[in-house]
Amino acid sequence: MAYTIMRFKKDKGGAVASCERHNERKKEAYKSNPDIDITKTKYNYHIVQAPQYTYSRKIKELIKKYGCKTRKDSIKLVETLITASPEFINKLSEKEKREYFERATKFMKSEIGEDRIISAVVHMDEKTPHMHLVFCPINKEGKLSAKSILGNQKSLSEWQTRYYEFMHERWNELERGQSAQVTKRKHIPTWLFKMADNLDYLYHKLSDVIENINLIGMKKDKTEALEILSEFVPKVQKFSAKVNSYKDYIRELEIKVINQKYDNKELAEENNELKKQMGDKEFETSMKLMNMQNQLKKYEKYIKKVPKEILEEIDRKEREHNYYKDKEMER
CATH number at residue 91: 3.30.930.30
Please tell me which residue, 267 or 62, carries the higher pLDDT value: 62
- Is residue 184 in a domain? no
Are 108 and 83 contained in the same domain? yes
Could you tell me the pTM of the whole model?
Answer: 0.57
Distance, CA of 202 to CA of 15 (rounded, Å): 36
Question: Residue 131: helix, strand or coil by DSSP?
Answer: strand
**Range in 41-50, 87-96, 156-165, 251-260 the model is least confident about:** 251-260
CA distance linking residue 98 with residue 102, whole number of Å: 6
- 248 plus 108 within the same structural domain: no
Domain that holds residue 108: 2-175
Mean pLDDT of 43-47: 96
**Domain identity same for 156 and 198:** no
pLDDT tens-place string over residues 200-218:
888 888 777 766 555 444 4
300 vs 241: CA distance, rounded Å: 12
Among 114, 144, 175, identify where a domain stops: 175
Q: Are 313 and 230 in contact (CB under 8 A)?
A: no
Looking at every residue in the chain, the average pLDDT score rounds to 78
The reply to whether 113 and 198 lie within a common domain is no
Q: Verify that 165 and 199 share a domain, yes or no.
A: no
What is the distance between the terminal CA atoms of the chain, rounded to a whole angstrom? 42
Q: What is the mean pLDDT of residues 277-304?
A: 74
- Residue 132 sits in the same domain as residue 25: yes
Tell whether 21 and 86 lie within a shared domain: yes
| Residue 181, in any domain of the structure | no
Instruction: Examine the pLDDT at 196 and tell me if it is beyond 70.
Output: yes
**d(Cα 125, Cα 117) in Å, to the nearest integer?**
23
The predicted-structure confidence for 305-325, as pLDDT tens digits, reads as follows 777 777 777 777 777 766 555
Q: How many residues does the chain have?
A: 331
Lowest average pLDDT, out of 203-207, 240-244, 264-268, goes to 264-268
Number of domains within the chain: 2
Residue 185 vs residue 207, higher pLDDT: 207
pLDDT of residue 252: 63
Do 201 and 228 lie in one domain? The reply is: yes
Considering the domain architecture, whether residues 99 and 199 belong to the same structural domain is answered as no
Whether 269 and 317 share a structural domain: yes
Residues 204 and 313 in one domain: yes
- Considering the domain boundaries, does residue 97 fall inside one? yes
User: What pLDDT does 294 receive?
Assistant: 81
